[in-house]
């Protein structure tokens, strides 16, 4: 979150209004496509804006070391309590590090992270961090990500894109233009999978369902871009 949006994000967690973004099961695209990355046991996976995502449990069960960052202490505490884990806690600069087994969460502002806070990162897993941010903050998010992870680090990116009615089909099913603008300078972008789903907005259940495109991207960091 940007500092501008921090109060809102903290309030959503405090008031338990998280149904719009917290998934109550492991993401099906993660479980389906992550094995194709063939990451070795012990690889360190960074999960920005992690909330209390169950995907971190799944990644740890695959033998990875998982490090997330989350602004809300309510979300971090809930993650460990709801999964019946007893974490240790210690202060690390601007962050509090909560740890249990292969999972650690840095509680604090993503934009305050530096390389020393994270250590070695092999892969970034982004399910909704990018899309949760306001459009004018996304470029800052990507620029900061490039500063804090090694240049050759890959990103496993999942997005949900509304398909506008007047958008040509080949464009709706291709690489999103905004994503290209954000990532192409530092990454090779590969679209692995697209799935069209018609969904009803729970806020307006009487409106016709809208088509959404669920996309799986694999981004390969380019060391020559820095």
Q: What is the pLDDT along the chain (226 residues), one digit of tens a residue?
A: 444 456 654 555 455 655 554 467 899 999 999 999 889 889 999 999 998 999 999 999 999 999 999 988 999 999 999 999 999 999 999 999 999 999 999 999 999 999 999 999 999 999 988 877 888 889 999 999 999 999 999 999 999 877 666 555 666 678 888 999 999 999 999 999 998 887 666 666 677 777 788 999 999 987 666 5
Q: How many C-beta atoms surround the C-beta of residue 82 within 10 A? A: 10
Contact 179, 147 (CB under 8 A): no
Predicted local distance difference test score (pLDDT) of residue 2: 45
What whole-number distance in Å separates Cα of residue 21 and Cα of residue 160? 11
User: What's the CA gap between 1 and 48, in Å, rounded?
Assistant: 10
Task: Report pLDDT for 161.
Answer: 78
Distance from the Cα of residue 218 to its chain's centroid: 13
CATH fold group of domain 6-225: Rossmann fold (3.40.50)
Q: What is the pLDDT of residue 111?
A: 93
Which pTM value belongs to this model?
0.85
Q: Which residues does 112 contact at the CB level (< 8 Å), separation at least 6?
A: 94, 95
pLDDT of residue 14: 57
Query: Residue 215: beta bridge partners?
Result: 159, 194
Q: Looking at residue 134, what is its pLDDT?
A: 82
- What pLDDT does 3 receive? 45
pLDDT score for 226: 58
**Rounded CA separation 186/34 (Å):** 21
88, two tokens:
């240790």
d(CA 92, CA 111): 15
- The predicted pLDDT at position 221 comes to 87
């Amino acid at each position: 979150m940007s500092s501008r949006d921090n109060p809102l994000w903290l309030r959503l967690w405090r008031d338990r209004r998280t149904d719009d973004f917290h998934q109550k099961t492991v993401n099906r695209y993660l479980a389906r496509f992550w094995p194709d990355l063939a990451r070795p046991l012990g690889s360190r996976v960074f999960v920005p804006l992690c909330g209390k995502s169950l995907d971190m449990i799944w990644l740890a069960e695959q033998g990875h070391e998982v490090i997330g960052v989350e602004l809300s202490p309510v979300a971090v505490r809930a993650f460990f309590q709801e999964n019946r884990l007893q974490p240790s806690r210690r202060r690390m600069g601007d962050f509090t590090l909560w740890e249990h087994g292969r999972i650690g969460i840095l509680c604090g502002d993503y934009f305050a992270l530096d390389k020393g806070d994270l250590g070695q990162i092999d892969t970034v897993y982004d399910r909704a961090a990018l899309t949760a941010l306001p459009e004018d903050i996304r470029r800052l998010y990507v620029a900061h990500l490039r500063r804090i992870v090694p240049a050759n680090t890959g990103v496993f990116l999942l997005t949900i894109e509304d398909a506008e009615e007047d958008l040509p089909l080949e464009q709706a099913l291709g690489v999103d233009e905004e994503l290209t603008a954000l990532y192409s300078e530092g990454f090779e972008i590969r679209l692995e999978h697209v799935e069209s789903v018609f969904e009803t907005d729970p806020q307006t259940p009487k409106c016709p369902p809208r088509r959404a495109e669920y996309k799986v991207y694999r981004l390969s960091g380019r060391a020559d871009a820095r």
